[in-house]
Amino acid sequence: MADEKITAVDTPGLELSDDRWRRILDETAKIFWKLGIKSVTMDDVATRQGISKKTLYQYVTDKNDLVDRVLKHLSFCYKCDIDAVRAGKDQNAIDESYAITTTVAGQLQGIHPSVHFDLEKYHPEAFRNMVENKQREIHECITDNMARGIREGLYREDLNIPMIASIYIARFDMVFDGELFPPDKFNMHDVHWELFRYHVRGIASKKGLDYLEKKLTKERVHA
């Protein structure tokens, strides 16, 4: 059945405080991440969640609106997860970076390889908003982490923080490039961990390198 628009209800009060709407967003994200976005219809979204399209259209006007809202919801959830990691006690800058990588790599694991391409080609505005938000948050996070690492003696004092933050963002975006990292040859989760090691080893002082190697050996999984 085609994705015809049934009715769009003006629902300014239906925000993330609405538990049902939040569950719909969470489940829709899982569907998109598992199957890709282009191939999933509004019928699929409704059927897989056991709801009617009429219910779905109480919250969104069309599929593009749904994609945009899902991305905004995920961005908010991811930011909350990262903020919680950064607020953790008894950790230094390398511990923090490691914990953030664990969180982000976990979020990326299992994403259908077509998702990034589908967003960029078929939902460009939603994709652009997601990228801008992500870059802003990564820049703040990586800048604060480098400043902290320098204070703790774990990172080199001669770092050009603004330049390295921009380089890091560019590298992060490369993880999603299907031509550079074809999914049949590279696992996105593994690529992200390689980025972590590459980044920290490039900015760490002797003290930081020693700490990193001990941590990787202890954790073993990502050594």
Phi, psi of 58 (to 5 degrees): -75, -20
Map out the domains of the chain with their CATH numbers.
Answer: 70-219 (1.10.357.10)
Q: Please report the pLDDT score of residue 107 as a whole number.
A: 83
What is the DSSP track for 175-191? TT-TTTS-TTT--HHHH
Tens of pLDDT, residues 22-48 = 999 999 999 999 999 999 999 999 999
Average pLDDT over residues 142-161: 98
Tens of pLDDT, residues 100-141 = 999 988 887 778 888 988 999 999 999 999 989 989 999 999
pLDDT confidence band for 220 (50 / 70 / 90): low
Phi, psi of 155 (to 5 degrees): -115, 155
Residues of the chain with pLDDT > 70, as a percent, come to 91
Q: What is the DSSP code (8-state) at residue 217? A: H
Tens of pLDDT, residues 85-96 = 999 889 999 999
